[in-house]
Amino acid sequence: MPNSTETAADVTEAGVARQLPAFAIIGVLSTAAYLGLYTALRPVLDAQSANLVALLVTAVANTAANRRFTFGVRGADGAARHQLQGLVAFFAGLALSSGALALVHRTLPDETQVEVAALIVANAAATALRFVLLRLWVFRGP
């Protein structure tokens, strides 16, 4: 059942086709911000802490941007609930990226360039999961 911001087309493949470009642009910008923040924090924090902070900061902005531009939800109504639900997607991304960092550190210690590559791969997987969670759960309607 579509919510007040969704049309019948939004729950079909046409809706996905309309939402994916906005989601992709927001994802690229969020990933760039995340990697920039991670690399800025990495000299002063360990990899896992830098990952946590960078991911948390960008996840809040990402959820807000996707709420408005990808899923067309405007106004404050439901914003807090959407952010809380977005935290589930954040934790999924944190699990993937933390696991990737742990794997890198276990197999290739002291390889910071490999950290960033592993985070890019983990972030790509988390992004696909995030789209599914946002579309089917967070912004699915009543």
Q: Which strand (E) or helix (H) includes residue 94?
A: helix 79-107
Please state, in angstroms and rounded to a whole number, the distance separating the CA atoms of residues 9 and 6. Answer: 8
pLDDT digits (tens, 9 = 90+) for 67-108: 999 998 998 988 899 999 888 888 999 999 999 999 999 998
Please state, in angstroms and rounded to a whole number, the distance separating the CA atoms of residues 25 and 109. Answer: 33
pLDDT digits (tens, 9 = 90+) for 30-72: 999 999 999 999 999 999 999 999 999 999 999 999 999 999 8
Say what the pLDDT of residue 15 is: 77
Tell whether pTM > 0.85. no
Q: How confident is the model at residue 109 (pLDDT cuts 50, 70, 90)?
A: confident
Burial class (CB in 10 A: 0-12, 13-18, 19+), 115: buried
- As a residue count, the chain comes to 142
Going by C-alpha positions, the residue among 7, 100, 113 that lies closest to residue 55 is 100
DSSP-based three-state secondary structure for 83:
helix
